[in-house]
Amino acid sequence: MINLKYRFPLAILLWGSLCAASASVKVNDPSCGEMANFHFACFGPIELSGGGQYGGFERSWQAGEPIGEILTLGDLENFGVGKFRLSDMITKGGGNFNSISIGQFPLIASQKLKDLVPLLGLNNMPASQFPGLESMPKDMTLSQALEQNLLLGDSPLTSLNIGGKPLSAIPGLYNLSLSSLPGWNNQKLAQVPFFESIPLSKMPIPLITNNTGIFRIDALRNQEGPQQRTISGSDLQGWNVACSGNCDYVELDDPENIGSSVSLPPEGVRWISGKKQNVEGGSGCLRWANGGKEPTGRLPFGSGFKVALWDISPASGKVTSKYFVRACNICGCTPYFIGPFPGPVYKENEDIFAGFEGLSSIEAGISSIQPLKSPSTQQKQVFNSGNTGSAAIASANSRTDTDLNNNSMSSSSIQQVAPSIQPQNNSIALSWSVQRFANALGSVDYAAVSPYLCRDEVCGYRIGMYQMWNQSRMAQVPPQLTQSEVTQGQIQKYFPKNFQEKAFQAYLERLDTATAAEIDPFTKAPFSGEREVQRIAQMYYGGEGAKIDADIPILGQGSLLQHSRNFLELYRRRA
């Protein structure tokens, strides 16, 4: 078993030292050198022009544009930004709600009175007390004014000539959630005051800042033969995607030169260059944007952005890194191909953040699976980077170096605790489901613990190999691990490997029983087959009471609906 230990203060120190000398962050902003304070304004400008459309979804960008002019709030569903109260959002970005004018916040300035008045509960407020309507009769309420003048209701706030008034002039506006405002998801980040200054660690679903594996760069290699022992890939395809040839990569090792107590996988694992290899990515209706491809890399800080190694130079002993982001809408997300944004430059023998995903697979062994089938020619539409001079992105559809590999743990331990259970009616065979469910989950570590997360008003941790929610009523987590603080030592003591595997099987049995009592809204019959698997995944990630196919943020996983679709694609292939 891999012992994944880390030192959080050391991680912060290393992040600062790596970023301070890099063009990836604004070096004149000291906060950009601290992982806990990293924000979107820290990103350097995008390096290549690109864009296109896919299924009616359009996006374009020009080289040199800042990230705030490219991404929209809707792209950040993995951060749960829709949950922000307006005043909290501005305050966390370093602003003052009372000092920002209506005209400085285009989303507010464009709101129609017929939408805003009921949203704020101002129907019975005297119309003359609302900014810009001071000339209205004193005895007329806002609801009466809107009923008598339909044009007034369809008018945006800008038509009232109140752009210079502070946001606080509108009663109750400070307490509205971002997602309650029509059109919020289409707003570019740069259009939202102080949004780009909000530390990603302070988002409703925060950036992961305290669960990051540290490696040492042991060697740089160019144009090598096939490589199997990798830790690069994607969240869809897995984190151990092999390179079939002409491989550029960084060879990693434990950070032994810093005296850390880190103990990571066997020496010599490879992180393949994203400039030389693309992998499967994306989800839902945007799954096949950019041909369904993205640069190989890792998500060491969660799903907010992807880190790819790029130019690897053994001669200079240096390797550049790049950041990639994705676009999302209500039915899915593109692959991480919007980029590259400049990342840190690393040197041989320096330390690099890689995260924990897929490390158990290195020890357990890697087994190949077949790639997803591409859509038909009629289904494919253009959504590729526009710079044809880049071999990195624009040639995504032509690459064949995308052998898929299973990133899960060995299935033998699952089979030991999964006796045969006969399906009832059209229900899935749960013994098979347990194994495949575990494979699709991927592997972490038996002592793993997530950052402190909150679901509605209940807060806790995802713990162990199967990342079970420690506040779940059905998961049978030991009571010692349901407290407000959980450590790796406690997990090892009270929830050892054999307990976790039995609890995991029993938990899936309970979720399967709960699912069997529900009706699939699409078929009007009990859940069965793949829809049953998808529903179990929704309950696993969103809680036993999660609404069916709910498009809502979940604990560190983005949208519940999107994630269950993504999960089902992995489940189909990981027998």
Q: What would the pLDDT profile of 41-51 be if each residue is shown by its tens digit? A: 999 999 999 98
For helices 529-542 and 560-573, the axis angle rounded to 10 degrees is: 130
Q: Which residues pair with 333 in a beta bridge?
A: 283, 328
Mark which of 337, 363, 389 sits at the end of a domain.
363
Parts of the chain with a pLDDT under 50: 1-28, 211-212, 258-265, 363-432, 555-557
d(CA 555, CA 312): 35
Residue 242 has what pLDDT? 93
Q: What's CA 346's distance to the chain center, in Å?
A: 25
Report if residue 241 sits inside a domain. Answer: yes
d(CA 393, CA 293): 9
Residue 133 has what pLDDT? 94
Query: Which residue type sits at 12?
Result: I
d(CA 449, CA 494): 13
Report if residue 231 sits inside a domain. Answer: yes
Residue 276 has what pLDDT? 94
Domain shared by 357 and 220, yes or no: yes
Report if residue 250 sits inside a domain. Answer: yes
Domain shared by 504 and 568, yes or no: yes
Instruction: Provide the token pair at 427.
Output: 């229900």
Count structural domains, the chain: 3
Mark which of 363, 398, 415 sits at the end of a domain.
363
d(CA 14, CA 21): 12
Domain shared by 193 and 221, yes or no: no
Residue 15 has what pLDDT? 42
Q: Is the pTM of this model over 0.85?
A: no
Domain shared by 223 and 345, yes or no: yes
d(CA 302, CA 553): 14
Domain shared by 296 and 220, yes or no: yes
Which residues does 321 contact at the CB level (< 8 Å), separation at least 6?
A: 24, 307, 308, 309, 310, 343, 344, 345, 346
Report if residue 11 sits inside a domain. Answer: no
Q: What's CA 444's distance to the chain center, in Å?
A: 17
Q: Is 493 helix (H, G, I), strand (E, B) or coil?
A: helix
Mark which of 131, 165, 197 sits at the end of a domain.
197
- The 10 Å Cβ neighbour count of residue 478 is 15
Report if residue 558 sits inside a domain. Answer: yes
pLDDT digits (tens, 9 = 90+) for 109-161: 999 999 999 999 999 999 999 999 999 999 999 999 999 998 899 989 999 99
Residue 120 has what pLDDT? 93
Residue 461 has what pLDDT? 83
Domain shared by 186 and 226, yes or no: no
Domain shared by 242 and 193, yes or no: no
Domain shared by 484 and 358, yes or no: no
Q: Is 142 helix (H, G, I), strand (E, B) or coil?
A: helix
Taking every pair of Cα atoms in the chain, the longest distance, rounded to a whole number of angstroms, is 82
Domain shared by 175 and 228, yes or no: no
Strands (E), 296-421: 306-313, 318-325, 328-329, 332-333, 338-347, 351-353, 368-369, 383-385, 404-405
Domain shared by 105 and 229, yes or no: no
Report if residue 479 sits inside a domain. Answer: yes
Domain shared by 512 and 472, yes or no: yes
| Helix, strand, coil in percent for the chain, rounding step 5 | 35, 20, 45
Residue 541 has what pLDDT? 80
Report if residue 34 sits inside a domain. Answer: no
Domain residue limits at 107: 50-111+156-197
Domain shared by 337 and 249, yes or no: yes
Report if residue 39 sits inside a domain. Answer: no
